[in-house]
Amino acid sequence: MFDRLAERLSETFRTLSGRGVLTEGNISDAMREIRRALLEADVNFKVAGRFVSEATEKALGGKVLKSLTPGQQVIKIVHDQLVELLASGSSSLHFTGSPPHVVLLCGLQGSGKTTTAARLAWWLARKKNRRSLLVACDLQRPAAIDQLEVMAKKAGAGFYCNRAVSDPVLVAREAINQARLQQYDTVIVDTAGRLHVDQELMDELVRVRDAVKPEEILLVLDGLTGQDAVNVAVKFQERTGFTGSVLTKMDGDSRGGAALSFAAVTGRPIKFVGVGEGIEGLEAFDAERLAGRILGMGDVVGLVEKAQEGYDHQEALKLEKKLKNNDFTLEDFATQMKKIRKMGSLGDILAMLPAGMRPAEADMDTASFGRMEAIIGSMTPQERRRPEVINGSRRKRIAMGSGTRVSEVNRLLSQFRDMKKMMKRMKSMKRSGIRGGLPGLFR
């Protein structure tokens, strides 16, 4: 979602890392690039401006570690600031009162409230072992009630509606009674989409809120939103005093600056992100991951998730573990390439890799993948597991066997080595406290 921004930032830092010391001059170059990148990623222009001036201040203020290069210093400052901004408050749901606990969802039309409501019920059942009652208070959009009813079934949650009533306040109030009677511990209230400037409907939302006294009020915000995200968030916050937000459609390509805008202007946490098409498409929000992605370290976790479309969960877990333990072999590499080819758009997949790990545009065709697979296919199992045994004559044999050249074999091996190194660095950096690690940016 932040891929373009990541690219641009790593480009900036690459040039910056070539220079000696941080000066006001080269910082302002980098910061101008950052501002521009933020704007292109739909971060609100005021937020972007403030963000950049704060980052500049910190960079010049000497709050930098002596052991880092200038490029690393700037990245660290920007990264930390991003995380700080994105991770304001807690990202889980807080229920303190007595059950049933009420969650109220609100937002503009088409932001994804109904889908989110059902996903939340599914998520709560799976992760928190809760029985949720889904309440249809969207009495505006045709067939919204039917949609929620079908989704409630998919989520395995209870469902309440009253088609005879036209006032959502009454429906909501009755739903709470029903939840008590039927001993649901959580009630999720779906409301009609409304414009933040529509006084009448906003008043109605406030009345629903006052009737059900929710412990959590979540603003469902379209992750594709542009500059307007700020207006929407501020207006909804004024009226409803929401406790957090859910950003939807976050599997869309390369944008999502709305996340930054939202966090900066409301100071409220982003609690979940919505991805994909299915009932399981709700994830706890991870600021580190998002910030890391902004800074060009890619989204290996996201890559694994995307790969799940191609194969089963068990396999994905294995891969994740392998990536973490750095015992990812050429065999795994070949398997992954096969999966990736199955997954379709290669550019999207590669965009999830850290910028430095990303092959150049020209290398990104699936044909080169086929050759790489052939090369790995021509290796012995031992060679695949321990590529360091591959000497000159083995290389020649592999090249012959795969119909490629020794230079191509060499390239593959060195790419694989770099990748392993990168993973190792990511791991050790995580341990040493530089959050997320910053691979591939300082070549």
Partner 1 sequence: MKQGLSEKLKKSRDALAGRLASFFGKGVPNAADMAMLEEALLEADLGWKLTEKVMTDLPALCSKQGLGLREGLAVVLRGMLPANADPPGDPRPLVTMIVGVNGSGKTTTVARLAAMEKARGFKTLMACADTFRAAAGEQLALWGTRLDIPVVTRPEGTDPGAVAFDAVASAVARGFDRVFVDTAGRLPNRKGLLDELSKVHRVIGKSMEGAPHRVLLVLDGSVGQNALQQAGGFASAVPLTGLVITKLDGTAKGGAVFAMAHELGIPIVFIGTGEGGGDMSVFDPVEFTGALVGL
What DSSP string describes 8-75?
HHHHHHHHHHTSSS--HHHHHHHHHHHHHHHHHTT--HHHHHHHHHHHHHHHHTT---TTS-HHHHHH
The 3-state DSSP class for residue 106 equals strand
Nearer to partner 1, 13 or 236 (CB): 236
CA distances from 48 to 25, 39, 273 (A): 19, 7, 22
**Cis peptide upstream of residue 439 (ω within 30 degrees of 0):** no
The DSSP bridge pattern shows strands 244-248 and 216-222 to be: parallel
How many residues belong to the chain?
A: 443
The least CB distance from residue 434 to partner 1, in Å, is 30
Q: Which two tokens stand for residue 435?
A: 């959050």
What is the sign of the dihedral through the CA atoms of 80, 350, 4 and 278?
A: negative
Q: What's the closest the beta carbon of residue 381 comes to partner 1, in angstroms?
A: 33
Q: At 87, phi and psi to the nearest 5? A: -100, 30
| Tokens (6 digits) for 179 | 């939840």
d(CA 139, CA 2): 36
Nearer to partner 1, 92 or 231 (CB): 231
Instruction: Quote the radius of gyration of the chain (alpha carbons, Å).
Output: 25
Please report how close the Cβ of residue 144 comes to partner 1 at its closest, in angstroms: 7
Closest CA to 3 of 339, 306, 321, 435: 306
Locate 439 and state its tokens.
């691979």
Query: Minimum CB separation from partner 1 for residue 308, in Å?
Result: 14
CA distance 369 to 359: 11
Q: How far apart are CA 12 and CA 6, in angstroms?
A: 10
Write down the least CB distance from residue 380 to partner 1, Å: 35
**Distance of closest approach, residue 151 Cβ to partner 1, in angstroms:** 5
Min dist CB 36 to partner 1, Å, is 6
What CA–CA distance (Å, rounded) separates 91 from 291? 15
User: Least separation, in Å, of the C-beta of 307 and partner 1?
Assistant: 14
Nearer to partner 1, 56 or 225 (CB): 225
17 vs 147 by CB, closer to partner 1: 147
Q: Give whichever of 173 and 235 is closer to partner 1, judged by the CB atom.
A: 235
Closest to partner 1 by CB, 5 vs 287, is 5
Interface ranges with partner 1 (CB under 8 A): 36, 39-42, 44-45, 108-112, 115, 140-144, 146-151, 154, 195-197, 222, 224-229, 231-232, 248-249, 251-255, 257-258, 277, 343-345, 348
Q: Which of 301/374 has CB closer to partner 1? A: 301
Instruction: Report the SS3 class of residue 108.
Output: coil
Distance CA 168, CA 104 (A): 12
- Nearer to partner 1 by Cβ, of 10 and 248: the residue is 248
Q: Which residues of 74-83 are buried (b: 16+ CB within 10 A; e: fewer)?
A: bbbbbbbbbb
Between 100 and 193, name the residue whose CB sits nearer to partner 1. 193
Residue closer to partner 1 by CB (options 225, 404) is 225
Q: Which helix (H) or strand (E) holds 423?
A: helix 406-432
What minimum distance in Å lies between the beta carbon of 169 and partner 1? 20
Least spacing, CB of residue 226 vs partner 1, in Å: 3
